[in-house]
Chains A and B, each alone.
Chain A
Amino acid sequence: MLTFRGFRKYFGDNLILAIPELTVPAGIHWIKGQNGSGKTTLFRVLGGLIPYQGDILLNQSINLQAQPLLHRRHINLGEAAPLYPGFLTGTELVNLFSQAHKAPADQAATLIKYFNADYLHQPVRAYSSGMLKKLSLMLAFIGQPSLILLDEPLATLDTATVELVYNLMQEYNSKHQTSFLVTSHQDSQMTQLPLTATWLVQNQTLTQLSDS
């Protein structure tokens, strides 16, 4: 699914991540790593938020840096600390993401109902951290992406919502063959997912820990 070739990410002169050659197959992957190891940087790179050196290919055909439009059509990102302008409403954001991703007509409504997000008419400024996280997860599931990146999706969520997220991930994976890269520090909760592989970000690189 994802192929790294000579990937490097610097902040100034500091090397944050280097992945010389690596292929991540399709499926649901858990990315582990200590605080500051570079997980979020990796996700921001894959999400198209920050530039990098080298090549990353999606499904052997889409070069993420050279084809920014296809990149963004096929990869969605749910950020660890989502940030939206406080004066916007969740509904406005959902509409924007639906239009941008040309999502099926009823998808947004289905997701809102699924997550029981009846607060989206309110401005984002009034949301709790859990409500904001739910919104960012909904936005990440909009469209028909090949890969969804979920950075700390379980943080600040209640147990019932965690269950909903897991079920939705499995549904997207089985029905639409959507792959997932998920970071989480909640070890016990992550093992409930049908993981394809577990990866570790450490020593400025990404290595595979185990197969499922």
Chain B
Amino acid sequence: MFALLRIFNKVVVQQFYQLNAGFFLVVFFLAFGIQQPPTMLVSPYFLTGAVTSSIFIFSVLGVFLLYYLKCFNFLLKTIRAPENEYLFITSLFPRRILWLSLGLTHLQLFLPALVYTLLISYYGLLTAHFWVIWVTTTYNLLLIFFTILYFHHQLAQTIPEKAIKNIFTSSEKRILAPPVLWPLRYLLRQEKVMLGLTKILSLGVLYAFMTLYPYPQYDLRPTYIGFLTAVITQAMLVQQVQQFQETALSFWRYLPYAHWQRFTYQVILFTLLLAPEIILLFRLNFNPAAIISLIFLVTFGISVILLLYTLLYLKLNRETYLKWVFFIYIGLLLFLLLHPPLYLLTILLFLLAYLLYYRNYYVYEQ
């Protein structure tokens, strides 16, 4: 059993936490970094009151379901990856051992959410809200059993034929046909969960900033900060796009495109990636007086995302990249609070991004 568990740990658990270090950093920052101590999500004061609310409990479970989908998707992608085909051999283990290993793998992936549900249960016990314990325990048991049964089935059988046949839809082909949009097709096909979760997070943050702060029409700074935060949450998607371009689309390198053409393609790509945030921005603050400012804000957001993208051509490792993203975010956040001329900042960021791209694209090597 230990041999099996060791393989699952190395192939699944360690990879999951390494690849999602940035995600956890962002979530940690949003959950704890910008909260006052009394409203901090783990403070006894907050939890004692919160467990009395069924809306809070079910909202937490809803959010953790999204996190579960992320874990589930990662596990599924890992066991279906061509380099992990050998994992079919695990189905030869006795069922008890395989189930136990899958269960422990699930617990390790789901650990952050599990700890929080245990904390909620504890405060449910303290405040005599026993239904909270019942709901969270049932919820966790259902998830763990579903993981075990589903992945046991996956490991014991060959990939269903429909998974191969169902890789092409005419509508997607029609809409995302231009080569510049192929990375979006990749995200929609192979990184659905990451894309979905990032968009939920970024749209949620933007919505919160634009609706919770008073008088958004008169003071655009909350909107600015909300949009900047929404753009920064795309950092991991940007990294996925760059990785995809440098592996599966590496042949782009030997196509005769000038620097400016390649850069323009990235501008188009990231503008479309930000389309949901841009639509929400205008939807929530469609005010003729603010329209020019919002257009500047959108171009500013595109310049920020391009900077995040071109930074990757400096051959930064994941940790260094995330540090850069964090410092850029904090720097721009402070800058926005000073209400600077946004167009000037946008031009500077575009120039910086283009310079980085121009200098590093052809000397970049994975």
Give me the interface of A with B, judged by CB distance under 8 Å. 47-51, 65, 68-70, 72-73, 75-77, 79, 82-89, 92, 96-97, 100-101, 123, 125-126, 139
Contact = CB atoms under 8 A, between A and B. Distances in A.
B186 A87 contact: yes
A49 B250 contact: yes
**5 tightest A-B CB contacts, nearest first:** A72-B256, A73-B256, A100-B255, A51-B363, A85-B248
A50 B364 CA distance: 7
Interface string B171-207: 0000001010010011001100000000000000000
Contact of A48 (B247, B249, B253): B253
B258 A126 contact: no
Contacts of A65: 362
B80 to A, nearest CB: 12
B168 A50 contact: no
B257 A72 contact: yes
Contact of B365 (A50, A69, A126): A50
29 contacts: A47-B253, A47-B254, A49-B250, A50-B365, A65-B362, A68-B259, A68-B362, A69-B258, A72-B256, A72-B257, A77-B254, A79-B251, A83-B248, A83-B250, A84-B248, A84-B251, A85-B186, A85-B244, A85-B248, A86-B167, A87-B167, A88-B182, A89-B168, A92-B179, A97-B255, A100-B256, A100-B257, A101-B256, A123-B168
A92 B177 contact: yes
- Give the residue among A65, A70, A76, A96 with the most B Cβ atoms within 10 A: A96
B164 interface: yes
- Give the residue among A89, A97, A100 with the most B Cβ atoms within 10 A: A100
Contacts of A85: 182, 185-186, 244, 248-249
Contacts of B363: 51
- Give the residue among A70, A82, A101, A123 with the most B Cβ atoms within 10 A: A123
Given A49-B250, A68-B259, A72-B256, 17 more contacts: A47-B253, A47-B254, A48-B362, A49-B254, A50-B365, A51-B363, A72-B255, A72-B257, A76-B254, A79-B251, A83-B250, A85-B182, A85-B244, A87-B167, A87-B168, A96-B255, A101-B256
A189 B179 CA distance: 37
Nearest to A69: B258
Nearest to B248: A85
A85 B190 CA distance: 10
Contacts of B244: 85
Interface string B3-32: 000000000000000000000000000000
A97 B177 CA distance: 14
A153 to B, nearest CB: 16
Contacts of A51: 362-365
A138 B255 CA distance: 14
A87 B253 contact: no
Nearest to B366: A50
B185 A87 contact: yes
Nearest to B188: A87
Contact of B189 (A79, A87, A96): A87
A63 to B, nearest CB: 12
A67 to B, nearest CB: 11
A83 B247 contact: yes
Nearest to B168: A123
Interface in B239-281: 244, 247-251, 253-259
Contacts of A72: 254-257
Contacts of A47: 253-254
A108 B43 CA distance: 66
A89 B170 CA distance: 12
